[in-house]
Amino acid sequence: MKMYDLIPTNGRKSFYGKAKVEVGNNGEEILYSYNMPIIKKDADGTLTRLYQDEPSMTTCTHIKSFCGLDKKQFMALP
C-alpha cells in the first residue's frame, strides 16, 4: 500500500497534509481526513462511507476533491 496527499480541486494549493489517500494493492482508495478513514472508492468506482458522523466543512471539502460528492450525497451513502 502507498499513501499520497490529496490534491485540492477548488483552487487551493494544498490541504497541508490533512487529507491523504491510501491506495491498496487491489486498486481501492481510502480517503483519510485528519487521520480518520472517511470514504472508500473500490477499483470499479463503488463508494462506501466509512465515517458515520456528520463531517466538518473541511472534511466535506476533502470529500468533494476525492470523489465529487457534496455533504448531502455523502450522508446518503450506505
Domain ranges of the chain: 2-72
**What is the model's pTM?**
0.94
Cα(37)–Cα(47) distance, rounded to whole angstroms?
Answer: 13
Cβ distance 5 to 14 under 8 Å?
yes
State the pLDDT at residue 67: 97
State the pLDDT at residue 74: 98
Contacts for 39 with CB less than 8 Å, ≥ 6 apart: 30, 31, 47, 48, 49, 50, 51, 63, 66, 67, 69, 74, 77
pLDDT tens digits, the chain, 78 residues: what are they? 899 999 999 888 999 999 999 999 899 999 999 999 999 999 999 999 999 999 999 999 999 999 999 999 999 998
- In degrees to the nearest 10, what's the CA dihedral of 14, 17, 19, 25? 110
User: How is residue 28 written as a grid cell?
Assistant: 481501492
